[in-house]
Chain A
Amino acid sequence: MLSYINFLVFFCLVLLFAVGTLVLSKLVRYTDPSFNPVKVSTYECGEDPVGDARIRFPVSYYLIALIFVLFDVEAAFLFPWILSLSKLGLLAFIEMLIFLSILFLGWFYAFKKGDLKWERQ
């Protein structure tokens, strides 16, 4: 319990540092009093910005996120497995082997379907 209080205190200190430095910077930095519409416009290599920046993006990014969820949940299962492996021995290993091979089937399916390829037609 005490350790978690330490963490809370450290979190507050870090937050204080992060916000405090920005405030300090606000106090000491130079601020241009004049308003210049070009200066605060969106940067697009010197051209006038075209349209909105919230553009459409490739579906590959969603697929990456989906496959990530699959593997990350699996990693969450691995944490308790690690702690009990030395007590349960070979039985726990074989159970995890079965679980991971089922999971690997999913990976293999995505691989065969070409979902792991970045470019698609």
Chain B
Amino acid sequence: MTFAESVSHGAILLGAIIGVVTYLTWVERKFSGRLQSRIGPYLVGRPHGWLQPIADALKLLSKEDITPAKTDRFLFNLAPIWVVVMSLLGFAFLPLTINWVLVNIDLGLLYFSAIGSLIVIGVFIAGWASNNKYALLSALRAAAQMVAYEVPLLLSLLVPAVLAGSLNFQDIILAQERIWFILFPVVGQISGITFLLAALAEGNRIPFDLSEAESELVAGFNIEYSGMKFAYFYLGEYVHLLAVSILVSILFLGGPLGPLLSGGVWIAFKTLIVFLIVLWIRWSFLRLRIDQMMMLNWKVLVPLTLGNLLLAGLWVSLSR
């Protein structure tokens, strides 16, 4: 790849992510509406409200930006940029068809999880720099939660890597030609479900959205933010969610593999299904208490994923 090519490929990838994420908010609102017997947004871009995300983006872009006097200005401005950059960077390693991946390295999975775990720093910077009690409490919760769920997330992420014997995403996809890892007896199902749970908790989604508990912490670590900086936290959250959905479809559902249609169509379809499952979970469960959440992590998920990983290792070393 020449330099011009790597710039254009990177720009295309970035544009595609932003476009898809913008429209995922529309999918989320429409689907949530249907789940609650509403029709969701419909006025902007009749009859289905398909211009709503663009209207939202323009609104957020032109909103007044208020920086409270007591904040630490440098960190306050750094935090949203940090969150967005770190959540976007992970995409560079994800293969979107069998052959197309921006950065194809053998340690793709390691890099992806390393960059994904840097998001929490941005969240904590936001809470600390805001100099607001709600923001600090929320950032503490978010940091504890993200850090704690990092462990089962990594341990369940490693099961497909063990089964494929590689940390390269393309190798993991090709290893699923015979059987998708979610259909792999016992280890596949356990790691798939625990991965989805841990990823929801890491992305601060319902039922683990303790850091954004409206009824107790008002809005969370982004409480003092307004305008585009506020939008950045949501952009980061949705980009992270999209990455998780793609990751589930790559690691467990065979990614671009599938009959008849091309790889890109299959991965998009599977990603959409995973995203809709996440939304379904969102509107079906209540928020957990923080002690319940920590108990679930340390006493259930960590031993379970650890044992599961060992089981997968035993399987691989025996079937050598």
Contact = CB atoms under 8 A, between A and B. Distances in A.
A97 B69 CA distance: 55
B232 A5 contact: no
Nearest to B236: A18
B248 interface: no
Interface residues of A, number: 70
* Interface residues of B, dominant DSSP: helix
Contact of A68 (B92, B151, B313, B317): B151
A82 B306 CA distance: 14
B167 A61 contact: no
Contacts of B276: none
Interface stretch (B157-165, B193-201, B255-263): B157-165
Given A3-B104, A53-B130, A42 B70 contact: yes
Interface string A66-91: 01100110010011011101101110
Contacts of A31: 64-65
Contacts of B92: 6-7, 10
A15 B6 contact: no
B64 A30 contact: yes
B310 A40 contact: no
Interface string B126-148: 00101111111100100110011
Interface string A25-40: 1101111100001011
B171 to A, nearest CB: 11
Nearest to A103: B306
B125 interface: no
Contacts of B314: 93
Quick one: which of A42, A60, A68, A71 has the most chain B CB within 10 A? A42
A83 to B, nearest CB: 7
B132 A44 contact: yes
Given A29-B61, A64-B147, A43 B320 contact: no
A48 interface: no
A54 B128 CA distance: 8
A3 B105 contact: yes
Interface in B142-181: 143-144, 147-148, 150-151, 154-155, 158, 161-162, 165-167
B136 A54 contact: yes
A109 interface: no
Nearest to A24: B61
Given A25-B62, A119-B291, 5 more contacts: A17-B84, A19-B81, A30-B62, A93-B317, A118-B294
Interface of A: 2-7, 9-11, 13-15, 17-19, 21-22, 24-26, 28-32, 37, 39-45, 49, 52-55, 57, 60-61, 64-65, 67-68, 71-72, 75, 78-79, 81-83, 85-86, 88-90, 92-93, 96-97, 100, 104, 107, 111, 116-119
Interface of B: 1, 3, 6-7, 9-11, 13-14, 18, 60-70, 77, 80-81, 84-85, 88-89, 92, 102-105, 107, 110, 128, 130-137, 140, 143-144, 147-148, 150-151, 154-155, 158, 161-162, 165-167, 218, 223-224, 227-229, 232, 290-291, 294-295, 298-299, 302-303, 306, 309-310, 313-314, 316-318, 320
18 contacts: A6-B10, A14-B88, A18-B85, A21-B228, A25-B60, A28-B61, A29-B65, A29-B227, A30-B63, A40-B68, A53-B136, A82-B162, A83-B166, A88-B317, A89-B317, A93-B313, A111-B298, A116-B298
